[in-house]
Chains A and B, each alone.
Chain A
Amino acid sequence: MIKVLFFAKLRDQLGISELQLDSKNNPDVASLLNNLQQRGGGWAGALADNKLMVAVNQTISTGNPSLQDGDEVAFFPPVTGG
């Protein structure tokens, strides 16, 4: 399974902070994102923002890394700490 996390404004928009998804249907970040956007409701709109950041196993990820069982993928808006 892949653990998927959402934070801040994105979590509020989706109404959920965590999902467990099958790794077979989500071999990489792009397919995971695509599957999430197909969930209907506000998912496509909330996840369409091209400024969204992605972290795989708690490291910011660019490109389209492949995923496997046990991975943790987080989607979140641009960070605003400090």
Chain B
Amino acid sequence: MIKVQSEDFNLQVEYDLLRQQSSVGAVVTFSGLVRDCNLGKKVSGLTLEHYPGMTEKSLTEIVEQAKQRWNILACRVIHRVGKLALQDQIVFVGVAALHRREAFACCEFIMDYLKTQAPFWKKECNEQGESYWVDARETDAQALGKWRDNEAAHKK
């Protein structure tokens, strides 16, 4: 299940939807929030832009890739767009599996791919009324590289 929406989401609702099968032994959830500081600068909120159509498509592809790597029982991804305030929820990834290892790994994989492949862009604003586009981080690209190296190693 993939959703791109401006509305907020409810962790308990998402969690309950992930544990509906009796075979589920582990649920891992991640949520990303708007924080008040980025790279040493005070932030008062942000706006998330996206590429309608491609965002859903790329998230679907990311989840499909994850399903090929791990045997997961359910997966839910929600990404919000539009204007968000401090402490608002931005993104949710939840994975249900038989055991914790695949649930942890799969959740991290989806987030690492989402951060570098899904067409969303953050524009931060501050209390002075200025707004500016956030630059991509090298550490996010490195996190993705880790999975790609793994894949290359598997194929050898």
Q: How far, in angstroms, from A81 to B115 measured CA to CA in the complex?
A: 5
Per the CB 8 Å criterion, the residue count for chain B at the interface is 27
Residues on A with C-beta less than 8 A from B134 are 80
Q: Cβ of A82 < 8 Å from any Cβ of B?
A: yes
Q: Enumerate chain A residues within 8 angstroms of B122, measured Cβ to Cβ.
A: 80-81
Chain A interface size range: 10 to 19
Q: Which chain B residues lie closer than 8 Å to A74 at the CB level? A: 51, 54, 119
Contacts known (A55-B51, A55-B119, A58-B51); A82 close to B133, Cβ less than 8 A: no
- A27 close to chain B: CB less than 8 A: no
B133 touches A9 (CB 8 A): yes
Contacts A79-B116, A81-B122, A82-B115 given; does A8 touch B133 at CB 8 Å: yes
Which one of B51, B111, B136 contacts A80 once the chains associate, using CB atoms below 8 Å? Answer: B136
Interface presence of B97 (CB below 8 A): no
User: Are B48 and A81 in contact, CB atoms less than 8 angstroms apart?
Assistant: yes
A44 nearest CB across to chain B (Å): 20
Enumerate chain A interface residues (CB-CB to B < 8 A): 5, 7-9, 12, 51, 53, 55, 58-60, 74, 76-82
